[in-house]
């Protein structure tokens, strides 16, 4: 399966009064890392992907993380992201945030390929992941 | 002109390693306060306003703030927002963030009533503020 | 075990280009809800708690969430938070984000009562949760 | 005076339901750009600077911005930051956010070199900027 490495510099404003990364920001890093992997896999970005396939996006249905070592302002970390599984209308990502060789955070995301429900455009609905997208995520 | 008061509780995640509100968050408070004033003036929220008038939004063209007294986690502050001026396609807001009787932050926003440019839908364009909206902002 | 209800208004700036809450913000809501539960349990806030017990904070070691129904700007939601388990130096929280009667998001947090390591003040270390804190979390 | 260029990639989560950067994020970019300039000027980061000089930080007292052209997810922009003026205990920064050759946002920051008030450690107080820091900011 496809793997991508994405670098992040921890900013002052990402850290809380304890001086460490405010944990929800790790999910913004992982989200950016997923977008970076898609950009690399498809050759165009999420806005373009949404337009081409007429979808709303790839929202998460399930997410988890383990925080092993804190990071702080000034750290430059690498997020190693892997497509763990591609199913009919959903897929699973695995992320590892690395400080040098140390795994500082581990995370998983399950995302769905989502469009408007034709029966009710105010509702969202999982759609089959196009074959060429699935093939590119498989690497 | 119309004035509205909007209460905000300062959260842990809004504060930086110095233990005080990370300053860009004051602009999110002011933005929420502007939205709250519109909700009160119009009786429906920004999504509904966008849909009714076929606009993209009311983005800022100019913003400023003076930070007088810091605030921190646990503080409950009040934002007093006033429509300072309504022009043809733009308007100006004034905000005062109050901790009790103390003015802790002062801010101004100039916003534009913006839609898609009919000549090029990828571009944004200032449009005249509808009379009934202008009248409601005038209070 | 102790349960608390915490209300959140979804702001424009919490939503992404798909028009729904950008998912990491759910973790900021849950974090605020945990802080609100502690405030209610102890009668003073996290800064005061940190000062009284000489700790650094209650950082997360493990977090998870299931996103069931999206929320958007203008929604007023309730987060129902429960202390699920109190261990020697860690505890587990369960959150349910409710839109009316609908469970829109479910989340769990495992947090540790953390101080500076006396042997190396640059390192963090789990410490025993004080009995009176544990008792108050037990409700 | 010293000038520095700092690159930022606009992320999905920085954009609002109108599909453009949520404006408070421009201030986080400018803040990061100021920190990047200090890192370059001093050779060590803000945490280290705070420790060396026994200060609390360099909080803003005054900020302003003009938003000229919107940016969106996937854009890679450059922030050109200049030290505009160094006074006794404060200094002024000017930022220009560039999309290619276009100035998309202009901003100014006035910041103060702040420590704890010896008479009341709960209060913050402007302190003289050390000569070697002032010299390095002058370029």
Mutate to test the interface with B, among D22, D59, D125 (most CBs of B within 10 A): D59
- Helices marked H in chain C: 24-42, 46-53, 131-137
Give one DSSP letter per residue of D27-88, joined into a string: HHHHHHHHHHHHHHHHSS-HHHHHHHHT--B--EEEEEEEE-S---TT-EEEEEEEEEEE-S
Chains with 3+ CB–CB pairs under 8 A to C are: A, B, D
Using CB atoms, pick whichever of C13, C19, C47 lies closest to residue B73.
C47
The residue of chain A nearest to residue D10, with distances taken between CA atoms, is A32
Which residue in chain D is spatially nearest to A73 when comparing CA positions?
D47
Say whether residue A19 is in contact with chain B using an 8 A CB cutoff. yes
Do A32 and D19 lie within an 8 Å CB cutoff? Answer: no
pLDDT band at B121 (very low <50, low <70, confident <90, very high): confident
Note down pLDDT in tens along chain D; length 139 residues: 899 999 999 999 999 999 999 999 999 999 999 999 999 999 999 889 999 999 999 999 999 999 999 999 999 999 999 999 999 999 999 999 999 999 999 999 999 999 988 899 878 899 999 999 999 999 8
A121 confidence band (pLDDT: 50, 70, 90): confident
**Rounded percentage of chain B residues whose pLDDT exceeds 90:** 89
> Which of B127, B83, B50, A111 minimizes the C-alpha distance to C12?
B50
Closest of C5, C135, C26, C134 to residue C82, by C-alpha: C5
The minimum CA-CA distance between A95 and chain B, rounded to whole Å, is 23
The pLDDT, as a whole number, for residue B118 is: 86
- State pLDDT tens for residues B19-75: 999 999 999 999 999 999 999 999 999 889 999 999 999 999 999 999 999 999 999
pLDDT of residue D16: 95
Q: For the residues A89-104, what does the mean pLDDT come to?
A: 97
Q: What percent of chain A has pLDDT over 90?
A: 88
Q: What is the mean pLDDT of residues A65-94?
A: 97
Residues in chain C: 139
Cβ–Cβ under 8 Å, residues B49 and B42:
yes
Q: What is the mean pLDDT of residues B89-96?
A: 98
The pLDDT of residue C75 is 95
Partner chains of B (3+ C-beta pairs under 8 Å): A, C, D
Q: Which residues of chain C lie closer than 8 angstroms to B32, CB-CB?
A: 11-13
Residues B23, D31: C-beta atoms closer than 8 Å: yes
Q: Is A110 on the interface with D (CB under 8 A)?
A: no
Six token digits for residue D74: 């996937």
Provide the β-strand partners of residue A98: A78, A103
pLDDT at A118: 86
Contact, B24 vs B65, CB < 8 A?
no
Residue range A27-73, pLDDT digits in tens: 999 999 999 999 999 999 998 999 999 999 999 999 999 999 999 99
Note whether A64 and C64 are within 8 A (CB): yes
Interface of D with C in 23-52 (CB under 8 A): 24
Name the pLDDT band for A15 (thresholds 50, 70, 90): very high
Task: Please report the pLDDT score of residue C118 as a whole number.
Answer: 86
Residues of B in contact with D70 (CB under 8 A): 59, 124
The stretches in chain C having pLDDT less than 50 are none
Q: Determine whether the interchain pair B35/C12 forms a contact, defined as Cβ–Cβ distance below 8 Å.
A: yes
Task: Say which residues have a Cβ less than 8 Å from residue C2's Cβ, sequence separation at least 6.
Answer: C37, C40, C41, C82, C83, C136, C137, C138, C139
A73 touching B, CB under 8 A?
yes
- Band (pLDDT 50/70/90 cuts) for residue A122 is confident
Burial C65-101 (b: 16+ CB within 10 A, else e): bbbeebbbbbbebebebbbeebeeebbbbbbbbbbee
Chain D residues closer than 8 Å to A32 by CB:
11-13
* Per-residue pLDDT band at B110 (split at 50, 70, 90): very high
Mean per-residue pLDDT over chain A, rounded:
95
CA distance C2 to chain D (A): 33
Question: What residues contact C43, with CB distance under 8 A and at least 6 apart?
Answer: none
Q: Which residues of D are less than 8 Å from B24 in CB distance?
A: 24-25, 27-28, 31
Q: Touching check for D20 and chain B: CB below 8 Å?
A: yes
């Amino acid at each position: 399966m496809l793997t991508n490495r994405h670098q992040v510099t921890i900013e002052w404003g990402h850290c809380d009064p304890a001086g460490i990364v405010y944990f929800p920001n790790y999910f913004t890093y992982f989200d950016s890392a997923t977008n970076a992997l898609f950009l690399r896999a498809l050759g165009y970005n999420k806005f373009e992907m949404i337009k081409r396939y007429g979808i709303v996006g790839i929202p998460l249905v399930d997410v988890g993380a383990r925080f092993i070592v804190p990071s702080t302002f000034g750290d430059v970390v690498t997020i190693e992201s892997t497509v763990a599984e591609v199913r009919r209308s959903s897929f699973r990502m695995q992320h590892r945030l690395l400080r040098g060789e140390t795994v500082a955070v581990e995370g998983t995301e399950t995302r769905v390929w989502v469009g408007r429900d034709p029966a009710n455009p105010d509702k969202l609905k999982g759609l089959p992941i196009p074959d060429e997208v699935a093939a590119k995520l498989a690497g």
